[in-house]
Amino acid sequence: MNGSMSQQQIPQQQQLHSQQQVQQPQQRFQPPLQNPSLNKYLPPNVQNVQHEQPNTALAGQNAPLNPAYLQKSPLHYQKNALMNGGSTHSSRTASPSLNYSENIASSSASSSPNPGKLPSSSYMAPPPLANVSMSSPMQPQLNRSIGSNLGSGPNLAGAGLTPRANPNLNHLSNSMQNLTIQQGIASGPPTPLSSTAAPTGMNTNQTLPRTLGYSHPPTSALGSQGTAAAQRFAPGSMAYTSPVTSTATTPASVPQLQPNNMNRLNSAAPIQQQISPQNFSNTSPPVNQFSPNANMYGINNNPAPPPLSASQHPLPPSMQKPTPNFAPPPTSQQYQQPPTNQHFQQPPTSQQIQPPPTSQQFQQPPTLQQTQQPSNLRKPMYPPSNARPPVSQQQTPVYGTQPQPQQQQPQSFSSPSQYQSQPQSPATFNGYPNSGQLQYQGVYNQMSVAQQGFSKLWGQDSVDLMQQRHILPTERVQPPPIQLNNQFYEAVNCSPEIMRCTVNKVPESNNLLQKSRLPLGILIHPFRDMSNLVVINCPTIVRCRLCRTYINPFVHFVDSKMWKCNLCYRINELPEDFQYDPVSKTYGEVTRRPEVRSSTIEFIAPSEYMLRPPQPAIYLFLFDVSIIAQQTGYLEVVCDILSKRLESMPGDARTKVGFIAFNSEVHFYNIAEGYSQPHEITLVDIDDIFLPCPDNLLVNVKACKDLIKDILSQLPTRFASSHDSGSALGAALQVAFKLMSSPGGRITVFQSCLPNKGPGALQSREDPNNRSAKDILHLNPATDFYKRLALDCSGQQIAVDLFLLNQQYSDLATLSGISKYSGGCIHHFPLYQKTKPQLVETLKRSFDRYLTRKIGFEAVMRVRCTRGLQIHTFHGNFFVRSTDLLSLPNVNPDAGYGMQISYEESLTDIKSVCFQAALLYTTSSGERRIRVHTMCLPVTASLTEVMYSADVQCIVGLLAKMAVDRSLSSSVSDARDAFINATVDIFNAFRLAQNLPSGNSGQLIAPKNLALLPLYIAAILKHIAFRTGTSTRLDDRVYAMDAMKTLPLDQLMKYIYPEFYHLDALFYNNANENDDSDQQDPPVLQLSAEFIDSRSLFLLDCGTLIIIYVGLNVPPDILQNVLGVQSTAEISDYCYGLPSLNTPENESLQAFIESLNENKPYDPIIQIIRDTSTCKSQFFEKLVDDRSESSLSYYEFLQHLRTQVK
Amino acid sequence: MAFNFGAFSYIVALIADAFLIFFAIFHVIAFDELKTDYKNPIDQCNSLNPLVLPEYLLHISFNLLFLFGGEWFSLCINLPLIAYHIWRYKNRPVMSGPGLYDPTNIMNADNLSKNMREGWIKLAVYLLSFFYYLYGMIYSLIST
């Protein structure tokens, strides 16, 4: 047989790979201290931790199935042509031309290695009995994978599910002697019955004794799941599920803020340079204790001498508060009082820093003075020197005293007047709703005080970035509100989480927009998981007859029968039943309809919105089972989660799933309802792909649950013995397209290497030596095969989602086409290995979320905008079917979209513009729905207002998307230049708009709402997507670019500029036994190492990863209470997961992390890095405000901007 | 009156140019349909792409006749367009088939307007050159 001959050499390869399979997949988050190899010798119940919940019911069902495995042999279809080496085309038509081999042996013969060559001698000794004698109830076949995995204990463990296979030593030894690799998913332990049909040479594998080891109790798999880690990662821990309890909701905290307000006032005085006192909690008790007693260190820092810089001051920033030197004047206090809960005062903002020539200057703290004060607070006694220059501290004047005018500022303000008029100071950065104050450096005094006061009143204050060193507010940046001068409109307007515009006041003409140099566009997160969505079912959906706009809160009702469309201004009639109010069941009041009361609404669509009956949920999974994929060991993780989540995947009774595995052949799984076992069909001819059998490849989940779970339990080891390095992704996708083409649905592809066989084969393009080159090549696809296929899929309502778990370069630039244009999503796990627990865990969580999240099928999204505007460019994963219509075969809640807007005509005489995104989709339960979001924005003719209404995060998000396009069409360096130019242009435009003096006056004046722009741009220039000069794998870069295009804005901002928290506030709050209602978020810090304190804990929230950084000298009690370790030395280098302890510190940290994860698709894993860890660099590379070898620091970037802004 | 090679090349150019005018009109109509959402971009690209190379080859072929016939001026006024065609085709997106238009980015407003403008300009050029070829043909026919 040709097939068997061609695979004779497999055993040798197996020897090679056996060593690689030795690695034990890390169970959960066991600390890496534990030697992985030890696991293999643990009792079975320990080893089976991965199977968190063995399905005992299934076990019972499977046991009786086993005889069937023995007796019934798999249908192994081999194409006639290939088997005979003959022509291929004749076999296409019907099954008779397929070679059905009704026995196990032929299937195993086609791929089983020659027994004589089996590597028994080269393998290690058989493993201890305990190792192999465990078996899980989910494992119906015993010796399926013995041949491949028996050889060594490590090998067994490494091959994932196999260790659970063999119940019986006798069994084992037999199979060892026979050295048969069982092939075929149905080729179970053979019986004489099946052996009759088997070729004689293959009889060896049928001599296995039929001592089935199902006697072991199902608890063996349950064994050690009670570990803390396993509990923590229990399937219930999904994102979006739990309401956050730890967010600070404190009207009660407002009174406590008064000391803080005073502090703020102090720091606003231009004369006074203060580094705030140590204060560990911003809630009242510490403050109250502190302030009056002056138990703080106030550091009077002289900003006047230029070299003087307070950057590396020894205090952890969040522990510092501006000293309450002044009694707070009541008048200014109302300005100061933040409307909501006040977090920590932002200590950095209380410092005045002269713009440093370089960033290094910031690193020199010697002028700081600090005295250690005895405090009655519980706080760590910080050793004064922690790799820091000695500093001395000086006691601050007591609260209520006058400031010490130690410095002469160049400004002409006298200190008291200054501080009293602090709210009027134009440069005070006080506009963010909750921001700590930023100190005024009287830089441009051209404005009169009255003017400054007015401008502040109107939210039009600006800030000199050169003076304002710490620009980031201490709380999370909130989107600026939209002011429509209509309370109802403002209240009802679309949530900024769903839709945001780069400007909150739209310029009235293209000319004005060009003057402002701002990009105009909107970012939409249309299918976001929402808790309070209004769903209505009405017979007629009211829409404009001309532009088909859905009725929304911003329409104008001419009278009770007519409404005027707010997009095209046509006057439409209202249907009779629209006047019926479903809530009060009365007629007459149209404004009480839910359509008019909510700008986000979901209609249940009547049948005219269907071109065909709503499709069922159909999921097809494509698994790469090449040798590289086997080595990564992803299959067992994926199959495990898949079988657990089978019932919780969205869908109704019609839900179908199917599985296709591919290496250099394509394997189908025929799961007919009546079968006792799944049948595998292998298609060898991949160049001319066809569907081997028309049905039963996609089967109903409910009807065939057991068979599906059967497949999933066998798949991970099914190909462990075939060392096929080919990956025929293109062929598998083609056949998947054929399989799915009539109903549509979702194809999930797991790929772990470069596709190198059949159609769509690719060559490696990346030069590893060139990863840090200036010009980045090969960002564009090498072939349009995947794009064309994606377009075909899109036409048939199929989305392809890609999970890339690659070890080497896999040309994501080309492969991503399959998802980009079919509305899919891409998940990338670079360097995935089952030995890396963090990657395994991330894959688990991400895939878990992927399976269970909402899904919309056969979706289209249309974005309409007011006449005069049009959509210029779309960003995201979809196919643009017409100028305003996106074709989204699938839509998922984690996908965001961006649109650039351009002008068709001027908007003069229009008061407001609206954007309406309507998403028409089929729910997984077969219901057609329309989700409509409408956003209304005012129009302005004033350039200043445009500038002051810009939304910096949205701008950065849109710029990132545009830059990705630029990188692809031109080059990355062009995109980088474009970033800088855009920033410079915006500041130039602002300077012109404000008529500020030109020339290098040492200032960089920015509107306060755009003050963060340079910070974000500097960070994005160092982002993996756009950085140059730093070694970056091409796939990582391409993935990052795709993420820029598709992430919703909130996640994108974390991806660009991770949130960095100083955690001490959590712990010391608790230490002071405040009740939980006072719990406040820790302060957000800028991403600079200057804030790092060796005595504190820090948390970095990167979106998909949370890093907790443990300083070297964290007090032991904190360590004990938070992390459960005695000293930092006990934290291992690779420490993942936060232990749950029953201490208030730990609980508050858990609650805080939960609040961070509130809006994330899945809970990210937590990595704990101690100061001396080897992965410290992972943490420090995220601190993007600092300088690196190849990039500027934030302050250098500012300097650069300043020279450019003329 | 002499029917020389020059006159022959003008006659060929005249006929070919008539076809080119139709190509250009079709181009403009096709993009207008795209703009007004009458057509699916995939279908439209499938109908546009096969016409790109024939148009270019037709244009180049009668310019080759000009070259052989020594009609230098006629050749020169066509050279910029030939150069543009070559540049355009060299910078086309990655595709396996012939053609220029990629359904995934053709709906970009910039692309649409650029292609529209190109269509109009080409139409104008072909129309003007049509009359020039007519003149050239008659001139070469009546000149001895």
ipTM of the complex: 0.91
Q: Can you tell me the distance from the alpha carbon of A29 to that of A26, in angstroms, rounded to the nearest whole number?
A: 7
Quickly count: other Cβ atoms within 10 Å of residue A304's Cβ: 15
Among A540, A670, A521, A547, smallest CA distance to A604 is for A540
CA distance to partner chain A, nearest, from residue B114 (Å): 13
For A876, the closest chain B residue by CA position comes to: B104
Q: Is A691 exposed, middle or buried (0-12, 13-18, 19+ CB in 10 A)?
A: middle
As beta bridge partners, residue A864 has: A916
pLDDT score of A1123: 86
Query: Could you tell me if B34 lies within 8 Å of chain A, comparing CB atoms?
Result: yes
For B96, the closest chain A residue by CA position comes to: A784
User: Given B35, B103, B104, which is nearest A883 (Cβ)?
Assistant: B35
User: Given A781, A785, A882, which is nearest B107 (Cβ)?
Assistant: A882
Where do the domains of chain A lie?
1-229, 252-457+466-475, 728-756+781-850, 951-1046+1189-1206, 1058-1183
Give A655-694 pLDDT, tens digit per residue: 999 999 999 999 999 887 777 888 888 988 888 888 888 7
Q: Can you tell me the distance from the alpha carbon of A1000 to that of A1061, in angstroms, rounded to the nearest whole number?
A: 35
pLDDT score of B2: 67
- Residue B31 backbone dihedrals phi, psi, to 5 degrees: -75, -30
CB contact under 8 A, A883 and B40: no
Terminal-to-terminal C-alpha distance of chain B: 6
CATH class of residue range A951-1046+1189-1206: mainly alpha
CA distance to partner chain A, nearest, from residue B38 (Å): 8
Q: Can you tell me the distance from the alpha carbon of A986 to that of A274, in angstroms, rounded to the nearest whole number?
A: 32
**A781 contacts in chain B (CB < 8 Å):** 94
pLDDT score of A490: 87
Strand A521-524 to A499-501 pairing:
antiparallel
**A966 contacts in chain B (CB < 8 Å):** none
CB contact under 8 A, A795 and B42: yes
User: Given A785, A873, A881, which is nearest B96 (Cβ)?
Assistant: A785
**Could you tell me if A278 and A1095 are in contact, meaning their C-beta atoms sit under 8 angstroms apart?**
no
As beta bridge partners, residue A802 has: A749, A826
CB contact under 8 A, B94 and A879: no
Q: Can you tell me the distance from the alpha carbon of A832 to that of A844, in angstroms, rounded to the nearest whole number?
A: 12
User: Given B42, B108, B112, which is nearest A791 (Cβ)?
Assistant: B42
- Residue A68 backbone dihedrals phi, psi, to 5 degrees: -65, -35
Listed by number, the residues of chain B in 69-98 with a beta carbon closer than 8 Å to a beta carbon of chain A are 93-96
CB contact under 8 A, B104 and A871: no
**A783 contacts in chain B (CB < 8 Å):** 94, 96
How far is Cα of residue A17 from the mean position of the Cα atoms in its chain?
A: 33
Which CATH code of 1.10.8.100, 3.30.70.380, 3.40.640.10, 3.40.50.410 fits the domain covering A728-756+781-850? 3.40.50.410
Query: Could you tell me if A782 lies within 8 Å of chain B, comparing CB atoms?
Result: yes
Q: Which residues contact A303 (CB under 8 A, 6 or more apart)?
A: A273, A310, A351, A352, A353, A354, A407, A409
**B110 contacts in chain A (CB < 8 Å):** 872-873
Q: Is A116 exposed, middle or buried (0-12, 13-18, 19+ CB in 10 A)?
A: exposed
User: Given A785, A787, A873, which is nearest B109 (Cβ)?
Assistant: A873
Token digits for B104?
């995934």
For A784, the closest chain B residue by CA position comes to: B95
Which residues does chain A have with pLDDT short of 70? 1-459, 582-583, 588, 998-1000, 1069-1080
- Provide the b/e sequence for A963-983 (b: ≥16 CB within 10 Å): bbbbbbeebbeebbebbbebb
CB contact under 8 A, B34 and A795: no
The C-alpha torsion from A818 through A820 and A821 to A822, rounded to 10°, is 70
Query: Could you tell me if B113 lies within 8 Å of chain A, comparing CB atoms?
Result: no
Terminal-to-terminal C-alpha distance of chain A: 79
CA distance to partner chain A, nearest, from residue B75 (Å): 33
For A902, the closest chain B residue by CA position comes to: B109
Q: Can you tell me the distance from the alpha carbon of A356 to that of A364, in angstroms, rounded to the nearest whole number?
A: 11
For B38, the closest chain A residue by CA position comes to: A882
Query: Could you tell me if A67 lies within 8 Å of chain B, comparing CB atoms?
Result: no
Q: Which residues contact A799 (CB under 8 A, 6 or more apart)?
A: A745, A746, A747, A793, A819, A822, A823, A824, A888, A889, A890
Average pLDDT over residues B22-31: 95
- Please report which helix (H) or strand (E) contains residue A534, including its range: strand A534-536
CB contact under 8 A, A872 and B110: yes
Strand A1005-1007 to A928-940 pairing:
unpaired
Q: Which residues contact A763 (CB under 8 A, 6 or more apart)?
A: A754, A782
**Could you tell me if A327 and A262 are in contact, meaning their C-beta atoms sit under 8 angstroms apart?**
yes
pLDDT score of A141: 39
Token digits for B106?
């053709």
Residue of B94, B114, B116 best to disrupt the A interface, most CBs of A under 10 A: B94
CATH class of residue range A1058-1183: alpha beta
Give A379-422 pLDDT, tens digit per residue: 333 333 333 333 333 333 333 333 333 333 333 333 333 333 33
